[in-house]
């Protein structure tokens, strides 16, 4: 039981490049989330998916798109990366009792 996994762990992009961050969970959870974490700002919600086939915007969705590929997988895409998107990205899933389980994170640098 791996919990929540994310790939890649590290990534460096040039401004304007695109990439997709992958997330998968094996806990059969319905809800999945993407957050970004910047120094001194806690965790901010980018997008979430309440169930397979649905996605909704969070607090900071601009510049991102998501796909809930199936119940296990929820990907985050940056179409044209900007330096302001330099951050640590966490995927999470939510259990029946409400608790969130986080993946190990992706450290993204945009130059």
Partner 1 sequence: GENVEQHPSTLSVQEGDSAVIKCTYSDSASNYFPWYKQELGKRPQLIIDIRSNVGEKKDQRIAVTLNKTAKHFSLHITETQPEDSAVYFCAAKRDNYGQNFVFGPGTRLSVLP
Exposure string for 26-58, b = 16+ CB within 10 A, e = fewer: eeebebbbbbbeeeeeebebbbbbeeeeebeeb
Exposure string for 95-105, b = 16+ CB within 10 A, e = fewer: eeeeebeebeb
90 binds partner 1 (CB under 8 A): yes
Which residues within the stretch 16-35 sit at the binding site for partner 1 (CB under 8 A)? 31, 33
Contact window for partner 1 (CB under 8 A) among 20-28, 36-44, 65-73, 79-87: 36-44
100 binds partner 1 (CB under 8 A): yes
50 binds partner 1 (CB under 8 A): yes
State the residues that interact with partner 1 by CB under 8 A: 31, 33, 40-45, 48, 50, 56, 58-59, 90, 94, 98-105
């Amino acid at each position: 039981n791996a919990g929540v996994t994310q790939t890649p762990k590290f990534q460096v992009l040039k401004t304007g490049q695109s990439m997709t961050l992958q997330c998968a969970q094996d806990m059969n959870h319905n809800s999945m989330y993407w957050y970004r974490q910047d120094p001194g700002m806690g965790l901010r919600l980018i997008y979430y998916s309440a169930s397979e086939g649905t996605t909704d915007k969070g607090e900071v969705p601009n510049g991102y798109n998501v796909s809930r590929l199936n119940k296990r997988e929820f990907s985050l895409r940056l179409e044209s990366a900007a330096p302001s998107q330099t951050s640590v990205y966490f995927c999470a899933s939510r259990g029946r009792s409400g608790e969130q389980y986080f993946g190990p994170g992706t450290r993204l640098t945009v130059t």
